[in-house]
Structure 1
Amino acid sequence: MATTTLHEAQPSLPSPPTGAAPPGGTARRVLRELRRDIGAVLSTAFLVLIVLMALFAPLIGTLAGHGPDTFDSAAVDKDLGGLPKGSLGGISGDHWLGVEPQNGRDILVRIAYGARISMLIAVSATLLTTVIGVVLGLLAGFYGRWVDQVISRLMDFLMAFPALIFMIAVLSALPAGNRPVLLVIVLSVFGWPYLARVVRGQTLTLTGREFVEAARASGAGSRALIFAEILPNLRSTIIVMTTLAVPGYIGTEAGLSFLGVGVTPPTASWGQMIANSVSWYQVDPMYFVIPGAFLFGTVLALTVVGDRLRHALDAGEAS
């Protein structure tokens, strides 16, 4: 569930090429490969739906006539302990995916707002992880010596650290305010070493290649070598690692929220909804199934897209 789980079994990555390929040609080849894969197409369509739900969550609430925290006592039966009225968890024309037991909050609206918070945290953590991992990986691989030693030992320490236990302890001790920001910081602290290690290894390989040596012999400085020769050849690796990081962070955020140390109520979160549904799944299984299906589908779709993207980039590099 933690960030270490995301990267323990690292995917095979595109080998560093001997020179930067034209971005336009590579992009066209990748898109052509992805369009041929029905799994990638379906996964992308589902992800587009999730992103639209996250972006237009307030509009969905307006159309549904309910806010994420609006109680609807008329939608639950108090005589039955607060169970939703009707079948399938209270699915009706007023509540398209049913309602939560006891309070009658609309599940569709809370799913949309939960998608917003999950995507916001996951994408923000991925961007911060990518920046830190790429910068430190490049520095370690390019300069070597004591710079490499310091950064590599820091990576080893963080990768060996029990990340999940530390996350739970830190988030439990810190105040609930600005919890999404704290989640982004904590996830990034334990996430960047995995990308940095891959970038470092490929930078070491690229530094000894002929085109880098030729640029150095022609008088190019360190900045030019890094940004003009090495970094463009790490593009495929960074894209693949970044794409595969997002589903890991979504799952980690949901897991922490499930344990009660992630996003705090009344902010909607998929993990929080699943945690609340545990005591109801025998009498109202839809309350568990619907947010669980959205979480599972999103993580699966992102993983499929990341895997297919890796294969497409491999094919593009081979051609």
Structure 2
Amino acid sequence: MTRTLLRDPVAAACLGYIALIVLMAVCAPLIVRISGWNPYEFDQSAIDSDLGGIPAGSWGGISGSHWLGVEPGSGRDVFARIVYGARSSLVIALGATVLTTALGVVFGLLAGYFGGRTDMLISRVMEFLMAFPALIFMIAVLSALPAEDRRYLLIVVISVFGWPYLARIVRGQTMSLKEREFVEAARASGASRTTIVFTEILPNLRSTILVMVTLAIPGYIGTEAGLSFLGVGLAPPTPSWGQMIASSVNWYAVVPTYFLVPGAFLALLVLSFMVLGDRLRTAVEPGGRS
């Protein structure tokens, strides 16, 4: 599967960009030290206070000192905030994906294998959460529960509404797999239900789960950015791409680079994950839908 993806130039480019962003997030302190600016440091000399805080120089203040320019009004280094914003986005997206996957797989397996009342109860909960206006609820909860570090709160809130989508797919596949000959053979040999679920059925769901995880990550990155844009995500001054895009609204007419830089990083990361997920699905299911 890995060789197939690497032979595809588009998938290889997406993998390369994702690896670059992950490396940037992991090595954020070192990268920022090399650049010479931290994401919270103000540089008043880089902005023109007489013109309302517009970055001095062209292209949003891009220079040898500030590689991607500076934030209008404050003079904070855009590159440093992009680097730390990548860390914030990935921590939330990966954390939510791990929790969503754990909940979705466990409840999907329980509903699909045991059926009956267990299936009915879990299915009703899934239907309720999928029918609920998730964005409105997220905004309400995040507004009502202030926290110093919103990352963990965001992970929990996003996961609560994310797991039913994976669980429904796992449930359907489990219902199909439990009627297969190898499961019947394990049952006839006296294997317990727990053993059958985790050693016979779950390994056959790995490809499906992997594809769903790859497609879920960009959705959660976008969700975090959207919530930060609406002012209920990560609180200032914590760097966030969505927060940077939100603060650029008042400036994009005169400093378009302040909107374009975080917007481009965010769009390319989401697109890379989505394309990679699509290519991965094609590699796992060659005869499946494209």
Shorter-chain TM-score: what band?
over 0.9
Matched to 1:253, the amino acid is E
Indicate which of 162, 165, 170 corresponds to 1:191: 162
Which among 237, 244, 251 is matched to residue 215 of structure 2?
A: 244
Matches of 1:164 and 1:117, distance apart in 2: 20
One-letter amino acid matched to 2:189: S
Asked if residue 141 in structure 1 is aligned to residue 126 in structure 2, the reply is no
1:300 maps to 2:271: yes
The residue that corresponds to 1:154 in the other structure is 125
Q: Quote the residue 1:272 is aligned against.
A: 243
Shift of 1:245: 0.4
What corresponds to 1:210 in structure 2? Answer: 181
1: CA distance between counterparts of 2:131 and 2:13?
Answer: 37
Superposition deviation, residue 178 in structure 1 = 2.6
Distance 2:258 2:31 in 1: 19
3-state SS, counterpart of residue 162 of structure 2: helix
User: Secondary structure at the residue paired with 1:42?
Assistant: helix
Asked if residue 97 in structure 1 is aligned to residue 68 in structure 2, the reply is yes
Q: Measure how far apart 1:210 and its partner are.
A: 1.1
Shift of 1:223: 1.5
- Say yes or no: does 1:36 pair with 2:2: no
- Is 1:130 the counterpart of 2:101 in the alignment? yes
- Between the aligned partners of 2:52 and 2:73, the Cα distance in structure 1 is 7
Query: Which of the residues 247, 250, 257 maps onto 1:286?
Result: 257
Unaligned runs of 5+ in 1: 1-29
Which structure 1 residue ranges, 4+ long, deviate > 3 Å from structure 2?
A: none
State the secondary structure of the residue aligned to 2:248: helix
Q: What code does the residue aligned with 2:226 have?
A: G
Identity of aligned residues (%): 65
Cα distance between partner residues in 2 of 1:217 and 1:64: 64
Aligned to 2:194: 223
- Quick one: which of 173, 181, 189 aligns to 2:152? 181
**Which residue of structure 2 lines up, in the alignment, with residue 84 of structure 1?**
55
Number of the residue aligned with 2:29:
58
Residue 316 (structure 1) shift = 9.9
Q: Give, in angstroms, the shift of residue 219 of structure 1.
A: 1.2
**Structure 2: distance between partners of 1:108 and 1:176:** 27
Q: How far apart, in 2, do the equivalents of 1:194 and 1:115 lie?
A: 26
The 2-side partners of 1:204 and 1:50 are apart by: 38
Deviation at 1:204, TM superposition (A): 0.2
The secondary structure found in structure 1 opposite 2:152 is: helix
In the alignment, structure 2 segments of 5+ residues that lack a partner are none
Question: Could you say what secondary structure the match of 1:268 adopts?
Answer: coil
Q: What TM-score results when the alignment is normalised by the length of structure 2?
A: 0.98
Tell me the amino acid that sits aligned with residue 150 of structure 2: R
Task: After TM superposition, give the deviation of residue 168 of structure 1 in Å.
Answer: 0.4
Secondary structure of the structure 2 residue equivalent to 1:151? helix
Paired letter, 2:239: A
Name the residue aligned to 1:235.
Answer: 206
Aligned-residue offset at 1:239: 0.3
Larger RCO, structures 1/2 (Cα 8 Å, 6+ apart): 1
**What amino acid is aligned across from residue 131 of structure 1 in structure 2?**
A
Superposed displacement of residue 77, structure 1? 0.8
Is 1:67 aligned with 2:38?
Answer: yes
Q: 163-172 vs 219-228, which deviates more?
A: 219-228
- CA deviations over 1:248-298 (Å, ceiling 9, x no partner): 000000000000000000100000000000110010000000000000010
SS in structure 2 opposite 1:89?
A: helix
Instruction: Measure the CA separation in 1 of the matches of 2:283 and 2:137.
Output: 37
